[in-house]
Structure 1
Amino acid sequence: MSDQTDFTGFPEGCLDFFKDLARDNSKTWFDVHRRDYEELVLEPARRFVVAMGRRLKTISPGVHADPRANQSLFRINRDTRFSKDKTPYKTNVAVWFWEGSGPRMDCSGYYMHAEPSRIFLGAGIHCFSKNRLQTYREAVVDAKQGPALVRALKRVEKAGPYTVGNRRYKKVPRGFDPEHKNAGLLLHDGLSVGLETEVPDVFHQPEFVDYCFTHYQAFQPLHDWLLDMTEREA
């Protein structure tokens, strides 16, 4: 049974809106079509956050599902201050459900991103803060936490065609044994698992909540490990 009350799926016009925006990514165009954005993207996304949050609380009771901008909803406005690409708007809809104390993007959580050609579902921490990166590295080589992380990742990889992301560095950081059995995990500046696929038909149906939840359940072992790590730090 589903519990997506009021969420009926993202409208057929949702991703078409982003196709049109990509052709004329300007404030002038967006201002003319702002009502379309609100009806085709923003309001359905808010309903998705509420419905998905209810479901996620059954496996992650402390998860935050806040349908406001810069909470579970990512703003459509791009931050162009340090980018060569000065187009003002993102051409995707993205939501974030985080769990734990501290700033939302420093926490582990569940992610959904949809654009005209694909969707991406994921869980984890995209980029560790400086202090959290050190905590993570120490956990990787810890006699108990390290093996627990390896087991969590194996469970996720066994559950489906999921990839482990955020491996950035080429060398094991100074102060850690490059021959350690978990040395590969020391090359990450964040840690996440995810699935990238074509947009499924269910994206436009209430059952999209069920679709996402099935994958989020598969991601849960890593999320729980990261949550435990961050709460130990706190």
Structure 2
Amino acid sequence: MFAFPPQTQDFLRDLSAHNDREWFDAHRAEYQAAYVEPARAFVAAVAPELERIAPGVCAEPRVLGSIFRINRDTRFSRDKRPYKEHLDLWFWEGERRTARSGFYLRVTPELVGIGAGANHLSREAIDRYRAAVCDAEAGAELAQIVSALETDGWDLAEPRLKRAPRGWTAVDPDAEPLLRRDSLFIARQEPAERATDADRLVPACVEAWSALAPLHRWLVAHVQ
């Protein structure tokens, strides 16, 4: 089994306290040893499990592959901190640049987040999502998937819209609330110590991703 070393969360904690380029440049060796290398090892550890959950899923042990870059895009943000203060990993199907759903892991000093689904959909992808929700068969299937997840204790974030967008009506009434969403991502939080637990980290990810796999498959089929 695999666990992140304590140094991963120590590095992220220190980065949070000194989020500037001067500090980061002085600690590039720690970034490589505590952030990049453990992330690569995690990707290698979960790749066979993910292949069983979603055959064809991509697990690339590199930055800008399954490992998100640590640099923040500050061009259009008031928050000018140059670096992310967490470690994000993503596993997708198809071409990375056009993928719309995937399995996620986030490691922070305070928690571990495990999830799957689609976030930050483009305008075209949102239209494909709404068209599928309005389809009798596809909409009913998604409603059943989401209902089963909620029954099993998964919490969905509140939808961004207060009512369904004009011009869209779901055939299945159970799917109608899903039209108020412009993304569909579900995650749960684990305690911070899960990241360093070699007996539980990978099994916890596999358990969560297996439960969320039907949602991922629906999104790949109908939105991606």
TM-score if structure 1 supplies the norm length?
Answer: 0.88
- Corresponding residue SS for 1:144: helix
Count of aligned pairs: 223
Q: Which residue of 2 aligns with 1:40?
A: 34
Counterpart amino acid of residue 27 in structure 1 = R
- Whole-angstrom distance in 2 between the partners of 1:176 and 1:100: 28
Q: Which residue of 2 aligns with 1:94?
A: 88
Specify whether residues 53 and 152 from structure 1 end up closer, same or farther in structure 2 by C-alpha distance, changes over 3 A only.
Answer: same
Q: Which residue of 1 aligns with 2:123?
A: 130
- Whole-angstrom distance in 2 between the partners of 1:147 and 1:180: 6
Specify whether residues 79 and 101 from structure 1 end up closer, same or farther in structure 2 by C-alpha distance, changes over 3 A only.
Answer: closer
Counterpart amino acid of residue 54 in structure 2 = S
Is the counterpart of residue 216 in structure 1 residue 209 in structure 2?
yes
Q: Which residue of 2 aligns with 1:63?
A: 57
Q: Which residue of 2 aligns with 1:80?
A: 74
How far residue 38 of structure 1 moved from its aligned partner, in angstroms, is 1.0
Q: Which residue of 2 aligns with 1:195?
A: 188
Deviations 1:60-117 (A, max 9, x none): 111011112122110011111111111111111110001135625x421100011111
TM-score if structure 2 supplies the norm length?
Answer: 0.91
- Corresponding residue SS for 1:28: helix
Specify whether residues 68 and 202 from structure 1 end up closer, same or farther in structure 2 by C-alpha distance, changes over 3 A only.
Answer: closer
Aligned CA RMSD, in angstroms, stands at 2.0
CA contact 1:94–1:114 (8 Å) conserved in 2: yes
- Greater strand share, 1 or 2? 1
Counterpart amino acid of residue 214 in structure 2 = P
Counterpart amino acid of residue 142 in structure 1 = D
- Whole-angstrom distance in 1 between the partners of 2:195 and 2:126: 37
Counterpart amino acid of residue 109 in structure 2 = P
How far residue 33 of structure 1 moved from its aligned partner, in angstroms, is 1.1
How far residue 20 of structure 1 moved from its aligned partner, in angstroms, is 1.0
Deviations 1:112-153 (A, max 9, x none): 011111121111110222112111111112110111001111
Structure 1 unpaired stretches of 5+: none
The list of structure 1 runs, each at least 4 consecutive aligned residues, that deviate by more than 6 angstroms after superposition, is none
- Greater helix share, 1 or 2? 2
Q: Which residue of 2 aligns with 1:169?
A: 161
How far residue 157 of structure 1 moved from its aligned partner, in angstroms, is 2.2
How far residue 203 of structure 1 moved from its aligned partner, in angstroms, is 3.3
- Corresponding residue SS for 1:58: helix
Moved more, 196-205 or 58-67: 196-205
